[in-house]
Amino acid sequence: MCREGIVSGHKISKSGIEVDREKVDVIAKLPHPTTVKGVRSFLGHVGFYRHFIQDFSKIARPMTHLLEKETPFVFSKECVDAFNTLKKKLTEALILVVPDCNLPFELICDASDFAIGTFLGQRKMTHFQPIYYASKMTTEAQIH
C-alpha cells in the first residue's frame, strides 16, 4: 500500500495535500517575465497552485493588469513585488488538510475594491488549519 504520492501535480499523504516541490522549485528559479506571453505563462504555472496561496488574485493584480488589451507592457516595481511575493508564498505553501466532517468548518471572507478572497478551514487542537484558499478579481460591473 502506498503511503504518499504525487497525483496531478500535488503531493497527497496522510498529512494532507501539498504542492509538488519539484515543480515549485522550477517556478521559484524563473526570472521575471519580459513579455505579455511570459506573464501569462508565469501566472498559469503559479495559478495551478492558487488554492495554496491566500489572496492570490489580490497579489497577482499588478501582473494581470498587463494582460489587459491596450495596456503597454511595463514590468513595474509593483509587478516585480507581486512576482517575488507569489514565488515566496508558493515555496512556503502550507499543507492543506483533509476536512474532518466531525468538526465545525470556518469560512473567512475578505474583499477589497478589486478582489475578493476566502478560505475554508477547521480548528484542530487549537490551531486553525486551512483546507482551501480561493480568490477572484472583480469585474467593473461587480465593483459598481
* Residue range 70-113, pLDDT digits in tens: 999 999 999 999 999 999 999 998 888 888 899 999 998 988 88
Work out the pLDDT band at 1, boundaries 50, 70, 90: low
Range of the domain at 126: 5-143
Tally of domains in the chain: 1
Q: What is the pLDDT of residues 41-63, one digit of tens each?
A: 999 999 999 999 989 999 999 99
Whole-angstrom distance, CA of residue 69 vs CA of residue 62:
14
Give me the pLDDT at residue 24, please.
92
Q: Which residues of 49-66 are buried (b: 16+ CB within 10 A; e: fewer)?
A: bbbbbbbbbbbbbbbbbb
Amino acid found at 1 = M
Distances (CA, A) of 109 to 23, 36, 117, 124: 29, 31, 6, 20
C-beta of residue 1 within 8 angstroms of C-beta of residue 13: no
CATH number of the domain at 102, please: 3.30.70.270
